[in-house]
Chains A and B, each alone.
Chain A
Amino acid sequence: MNLLKILTAGVFAAAAFSAAQVSASVLDTVKQRGVLNCGTDNTAPGFGYLNTTTGQMEGLDVDFCKAVAAGVLGDASKVKFITVTDKSRFDAVLTGQVDVVFAHTTIKPARESSISIDFLPINFYDGTGLMVKTDAGIKEFADLDGATICTTQGSATETVLTAAFKARGWKDSKVLTYENLEKLFSALNSGRCNAMSTDKSALAAWAGNAPKPTDYLILPDTLDKSPFGGFVAANDSKWRNALRWIEYGLFQAEESDITQANLAEKLKSEDPFVQKFLGVDGGYGKDFGLPDDFIAQAIKAVGNYGEVYDRNLGPKTKMYLDRKGTPNALWTQGGAIYSPLWN
């Protein structure tokens, strides 16, 4: 891949040069085009996934794309999903093929400093977790001294586990790696491993889809943080700010108890904040170059953040991921989903 990087560097220099000459915001381009090109994954259930039975795109990231299309263009159906992979997602946004990427991307300093992109606010907090068999009597990570912990090959989890062992001075603990999650899960079942370790979002899904979900226990510990966020090409604050506040709008809507179902009612609300927030009287859109009712449109399309979460990842879905007690809960409930002040 290194040769590839060197080759692409030249192209980006050229791209940056031509971009500097044009210097129009992506926001204007999107409005002119009338369609949002949104980069998503299509193989990540719960985030960006092509449902193989219905043929529809679904997931948290997909809903964020729809919310942006609704906020900017007033119509959630005016979004074109362009599949990006772990390898192509940065190049896709840098070359302007997609306007924004929502593809369960972990926010890291190196990504913002060395790739010319700007991240949007965190829309999901993932982290490395551990899962054990309930009958093993293990309650937390500290109980795993001397245990065999399994994870997938080549993932960052392996390094995280080794570091955790070292920090605690555990000498007998071992890390075993498997090719994919399916093999990892059967190794846990057969007793080859005392615990399996991967992203918490994946653990919940594997336990939840097992014949008897209560057989498995996800430990409360989080070994490593993995905050997901969308991103856009760097140096376009007009576009980035519009997207940031659409996202914050979804957070705030949950806090203010505005849902897809009660939106029509709330639009008639007397509360001056709600009136301004939804763009009934005044609004926040104009200064961002958006319609004043951009938040109302986004909520109409996908609902508030809590609804988006529950639809795609919540306990009622096949992902079985409860928000309670995690950073994904609203800040008023002890989580980290927090919108700045709207006033």
Chain B
Amino acid sequence: MIATSIKWTRHNLFGKPFDVVLSLLVIPGVLWLAYSITDWAFVSAKWGIIVQSLRVLMIGVFPADQAWRAWTASAIIGAILGAGLGCVFSFKPHHGLVLLLVPVLLLIVHGGLGNALPATGTVASTILGWALTSYVPLSRKVLPAAAFTGFIVIVAIMAPPGVGLWGGLLLSVLLTLVTSVLSLPIGILLAFGRQSRLSSLRIICTWYIEVMRSVPLILVVYWIWILMPVLAPQWGLADVARGMIGFTIFYSAYVAEYVRSGLQAVPRAQTEAARSLGMSEFDINRSIVLPQALRVVVAPLVGNVLDIFNSAPLVFIIGLTDFLRAGQMILANPQYGDRTFEVLSFLLATYFVIGSMITYAARKLEDHMATGTR
């Protein structure tokens, strides 16, 4: 073991004179960096501020006595995501152990059982969902319906205190979720519309897609934010709802383009064969073209979800308090002005964890989808 690692080191790090110089420069540098970061993170950083403001970072101004709604919603989100993961990636007990580290860590840092409970619930439901679809293949069949029901339930649970109160990380996640779910059907319709034989429909859809793809997201969001109360004052839509509409309108165009690339990837012979069997245009699209097209574009669509999640902080412009702005809110207080690195590190770490989970899922999904065609 030691012999092989010495051999590996000599071969890879000290093989040539130039490598030796580089290694001597880089290795101490990296070690020093690692030491300073560790030293800062465990000795000098004052993490108390994160623990103190955790609730605002997670759910923003959502009323404290209604917090159970938020925790229930996050448990359902966990279950759906877990179940989705289980379809492509089998659950192993050690995954559960790693996930359980989160609430344990929170328990140690926080000291209070009450604060660790929501995280435990979310992790537990994620594990349950993951295990269910891993071990009971039959459950995968009902997953889309279950996920959609879960989605409706989340909105129903979260809505009563007022949609305008959604905030923090939960807002970022819900915005991503709502946008991803709503933009999929709209995007599919637009993609078909762009290929339609009715030229009026084709022109409208093409225009829509091209306009949306050539303007910045922030403009669309702000535009909708101003426009809705003028066009429909009687609806009194909350800022959050208008933000979601803006995001959906914008990202539908992107989804449409992804789906169109999938539609074009389906061999022409497939449609011709179906037509010769006498299937109607609608049936051809529904049961021949779309399933094959979606199979190709699942991975880019998951990437699109990541894109939505990372653009979510832009809603600050219409006065929403998403995760990033909640962090800035803490820093705006001169009392905590010297905790910049603590707060920003926490934001960075959280975004990194969530973002890398999504990319990881996308990669797994891609592998899974590719197995059939190989």
The interface of chain A, by Cβ under 8 A from chain B, is 3-4, 7-8, 11, 14-15, 18, 39, 42-45, 49-50, 52-53, 55, 57, 80-85, 87-88, 91-92, 95-97, 181-182, 185, 202, 205-206, 208-209, 318-319
Residues in chain B near residue A92, CB distance under 8 A: 319
Instruction: Determine the chain B residues whose CB is within 8 A of the CB of A82 once the complex forms.
Output: 164, 239, 319
9 contacts between A and B (CB under 8 A): A11-B226, A52-B326, A52-B329, A55-B63, A82-B319, A84-B319, A88-B319, A182-B337, A209-B334
- Which stretch in B38-46, B53-61, B280-288, B360-368 binds the other chain? B53-61
When the two chains form their complex, are residues B222 and A4 in contact, meaning their CB atoms are under 8 A apart? Answer: yes
- Knowing A4-B222, A11-B230 are in contact, say whether A88-B61 is a contact too (CB < 8 A): no
Give the distance to chain A from B241, nearest Cβ to Cβ, in Å.
12
Confirm or deny: B371 has a beta carbon within 8 angstroms of a beta carbon on chain A: no
A130 CB, nearest partner CB in chain B, Å: 17
* Chain B min CB distance to A312 (Å): 13
In the complex, residue of chain B having the shortest beta-carbon distance to the beta carbon of A16: B230
Contact of B61 with A85 in the complex, beta carbons under 8 Å: no
Interface size on B, as a range, is: 35 or more
Taking A43-B329, A80-B162, A206-B337 as known contacts, 10 extra A-B pairs with beta carbons closer than 8 A to each other, sorted by chain A number, are: A11-B230, A43-B328, A45-B334, A50-B60, A55-B64, A82-B164, A85-B317, A88-B319, A91-B225, A206-B334
By beta carbon, the residue of chain A nearest B167 is: A50
Contacts of B320 in A (CB 8 A): 83
> In the assembly, what is the distance between CA of A87 and CA of B275, in Å?
56
A50 pairs with B317, CB closer than 8 A: no
Q: Which chain B residues border A57 with CB–CB below 8 Å?
A: 61
In the complex, A1 Cα to B211 Cα: how many Å?
18
Contacts of A319 in B (CB 8 A): 334
In the complex, the chain A residue whose C-beta lies closest to that of B230 is: A15
Asked if residues A91 and B226 are in contact (CB atoms below 8 Å), the reply is yes
- Please tell me if the beta carbons of A96 and B164 are within 8 angstroms of each other in the complex: no
Q: Is the CB of B233 within 8 A of A182?
A: no
User: Given the complex, which residues of A lie within 8 Å of B318, measured CB to CB?
Assistant: 85, 88
Interface residue from A7, A8, A52, A85 paired with B333 (Cβ < 8 Å): A52
B157: chain A residues within 8 A (beta carbon): none
Chain B residues within an 8 Å CB radius of A202: 334
By the criterion CB–CB under 8 Å, are B337 and A185 in contact?
yes
**Chain B residues whose CB sits within 8 angstroms of the CB of A209 once the complex forms:** 334-335, 337
